[in-house]
Amino acid sequence: MSDHHDDEHAREHDRPLSGPALRAKALESLLVEKGLVDPKALDELIDTYETKVGPRNGARIVARAWVDPAYRKRLLEDASAAIAEFGFIGRQGEDMVVLENTPKVRNVVVCTLCSCYPWPVLGLPPVWYKSAPYRARAVIDPRGVLKELGEDVPDGVEVRVWDSTAELRYLVLPERPAGTEGWSEDELAAIVTRDAMIGVAQVRAPDRSKR
Amino acid sequence: MNSVHDMGGMHGMGPVEIEKNEPVYHSTWEARVHALNIACGYHRKWNIDVGRHSRERIPPAEYLASTYYEKWLRGLEMLLVENGLITAKELETGRAESKASAFRALRPSEVAAYLRVRRLARLDDDVAPKFKPGDRVLTRNDHPVGHTRLPRYARGKRGVIDRDHGVFIFPDTHAMTRDKKPQHCYSVRFAARELWGPKAPARDSVYVDLWDEHLDRA
């Protein structure tokens, strides 16, 4: 993916504007001229997704669930309400479902038809969650995908894949890693990754010597 | 519709490639395209299902060759012209033939509240569920040329109702005729072996969210 990234930047720098950049600019100008779009509102929307939503939101939910059994119970019973307690509501997170990983069950979230992930808690999904390889393979070969990502799932563990075909949005509650006993909620939130919250990674405690 | 957006189970797409420290947007135009989609959606000339169907109708070769936000740009161009917010000629020339005086643009001060609005895919309609958790179901073997949220890999398959999510808009009609057809949406569990054959791991499963009209009693 990094090659692709470099290509895109090369395209942007080498030519005045690449095809889609030029088309996007022309379309925005037209819509502004017609009075259908206020460019300042676009700035505000972009700022929201670049700075106000992101996986740190979801990480706070996970950390709270790890330290507060009553919250964990509410989260599993009515995820939308429990997540709304933090104010993480709105577009692409209206109806939430939380899936709990256990030593015997691993949950993996995908959207095979398009790109449905819970924005208020994960932020906008990275390209690879929406890419053809992940969408094609997560349902037919989840263990193969996980193995490529460095997660060997033992035969005795059940893999459940959740294809987000409706307006429900799924968040995985990963297992709390060993060695984090006594950690504060903030310390725990800091080690929760976005990949762990769609179930393609586990949360690991960093090496003690580096803490 | 049976197009390449319906990717579940396809082969040959290559390995999953992860970009380290990926930015939210890779370039200014990607950010503008994403924001334009939301700002144009504010006019309520289409719904989320119509929007998804626009991107599905991108010709397959173009769909596969496009980056994510190229698809969103192409889809938005289609939505704007098809729903009369701009004309095909305006899109081609980039020049407005008239002001859209019947519409008021989303204001910067309204953005935060607009993003928090519930878009109401869930409905209050009092509709009885056709199934309950634990019921065995058979998905319909339909291949509509229009929009559907029943992926090809899960058609004509036997599953079990895992949970009833409640009453939701039915996207398959909402995308085509705007008919909400309120009905129950369920999480349906399919054994991996039912979907992918005897070589699939015995315990594994795939859960798909499906509606009453996708399902018959098995």
Q: How many Cβ atoms are within 10 Å of B6's Cβ, its own excluded?
A: 21
The whole-number pLDDT of residue B165 equals: 97
- A194 shares a domain with A134: yes
Pairwise CA distance, residues B218 & B91, whole Å: 50
Q: Please name the residue that has the structure tokens 């705007």.
A: B178
- Return the axis-axis angle of helices B28-41 and B68-82, rounded to nearest 10°: 30
pLDDT score at A4: 47
Residue contact B94–A26, C-beta within 8 A: yes
Measured between beta carbons, the chain A residues lying within 8 angstroms of B116 are 89-91
Please, are residues B115 and A91 in contact by the beta-carbon 8 Å criterion?
A: yes
CATH code of A146's domain: 3.90.330.10
Q: Residue B159 forms beta bridges with which residues?
A: B137
pLDDT at B41 over 50: yes
Same domain, A57 and A33: no
Instruction: Answer yes or no: A114 catalytic.
Output: yes
From first to last of its 211 residues, chain A has per-residue pLDDT tens of 344 444 444 444 445 566 999 999 999 999 999 999 999 999 999 999 999 999 999 999 999 999 999 999 999 999 999 999 999 988 898 899 999 999 999 999 999 999 999 999 999 999 999 999 999 999 999 999 999 999 999 999 999 999 999 999 999 999 999 999 999 999 999 999 999 999 999 999 987 655 4
Output the pLDDT for position A90: 86
* Domain shared by A193 and A120, yes or no: yes
Residue in chain A lying closest to B73 (CA): A24
User: What number is the average pLDDT over the span B58-65?
Assistant: 96
Q: Measure CA of the first residue to CA of the last residue in chain B; give whole Å.
A: 25
Given the residues A115, A164, A184, A209, the one annotated as active site: A115
Check CB contact under 8 Å for B8 and A128: no
Say what the pLDDT of residue B192 is: 98
pLDDT at A3: 43
For residue A189, the one-letter residue type is A
- Residues facing residue A171 across a β-bridge: A98
Instruction: Determine what percent of chain B is predicted with pLDDT higher than 90.
Output: 98
Does the beta-carbon distance from A21 to B103 stay under 8 Å? Answer: no
Same domain, A79 and A15: no
pLDDT at position B121, please?
93
pLDDT at A209: 53
pLDDT the model gives residue B174: 98
Q: Which residue has the tokens 């290509």?
A: A7
- Identified catalytic residue from A2, A29, A116, A184: A116
B143-198 pLDDT per residue, tens? 999 999 999 999 999 999 999 999 999 999 999 999 999 999 999 999 999 999 99
* Cα(A85)–Cα(B121) distance, integer angstroms: 21
pLDDT, position A91: 86
pTM of the model: 0.94
Closest CA to A62 of A194, A200, A206: A194
Is residue A115 annotated as a catalytic residue, yes or no?
yes
Subunit contact B106:A159, Cβ cutoff 8 A: no
Kindly provide the ipTM of the predicted complex, given to two decimals. Answer: 0.97
B12 pLDDT more than 70: yes
List the structure tokens of B58.
Answer: 């991108």
Does A76 reach chain B within 8 Å, measured CB to CB?
A: no
In this prediction, residue B120 has a pLDDT band, given cuts at 50, 70 and 90, of confident
Q: Which residue has the tokens 């009905």?
A: B183
The reply to whether A111 belongs to the active site is yes
Listed by number, the residues of chain A in 102-121 with a beta carbon closer than 8 Å to a beta carbon of chain B are 110, 112-115
The domain of A127 spans 53-210
- Which residues are bridge partners to B167 per DSSP? B184
Same domain? For A33 and A65 the reply is: no
Residue A181, in any domain of the structure: yes
Do residues A12 and A73 both lie within one domain? no
pLDDT for A208 equals: 60
- CB-CB: which of A34, A42, A132 is closest to B96? A34
DSSP percent split of chain B into helix, strand, coil, nearest 5: 35, 15, 50
Q: Which amino acid is at A153?
A: V
The answer to whether the CB atoms of B122 and A167 lie below 8 A apart is yes
The one-letter code for the residue type at A63 is A
Residue A150, chain B, CB below 8 Å: the answer is no
Identify whether A29 is a catalytic site residue: no
Q: Is the dihedral of CA B76, B82, B87, B92 positive or negative?
A: positive
Cβ-based contacts of A80 with chain B (< 8 Å): none
CB–CB of B17 and A1 under 8 A? Answer: yes
Check B116 against A90: CB less than 8 A apart.
Answer: yes
Pair (A182, A90) in one structural domain: yes
Distance of CA B126 to the CA centre of its chain: 25
**Optimal mutation site among B207, B210, B212, interface A, most CBs of chain A within 10 A:** B207
Q: Are residues A15 and A87 in the same domain?
A: no
A113/B101 CB distance under 8 A: no
Query: Which residue from A89, A128, A165 is facing B16, i.e. has the nearest CB?
Result: A128
* A87 and chain B in contact, CB less than 8 A: no
Is A48 inside a domain boundary? Answer: no
Q: Do A163 and B8 touch (CB under 8 A)?
A: yes
B209/A163 CB distance under 8 A: yes
Contacting residues of B for A40, CB less than 8 Å apart: 107-108
Same-domain pairing of A23 and A69: no
The predicted model gives B14-30 an average pLDDT of: 95
Residue of A27, A49, A148 with shortest CB distance to B24: A49
Q: Distance between CA B14 and CA B149 in Å, rounded?
A: 25
Set out the domains of chain B in order of their start, with CATH numbers: 28-116 (1.10.472.20), 136-217 (2.30.30.50)
Structure tokens of A107? 């949950």
Same domain membership, residue A122 and residue A157: yes
- A94 in a structural domain: yes
If DSSP codes are grouped into helix, strand and coil, which group holds residue A56?
Answer: helix
| Tally of domains in chain A | 2
- For B34, nearest residue in chain A (alpha carbons): A46
> Is A42 part of a structural domain of the chain?
no
Set of chain B residues whose Cβ sits within 8 Å of the Cβ of A112: 6-8, 151, 153
What share of chain B in percent tops pLDDT 70? Answer: 99
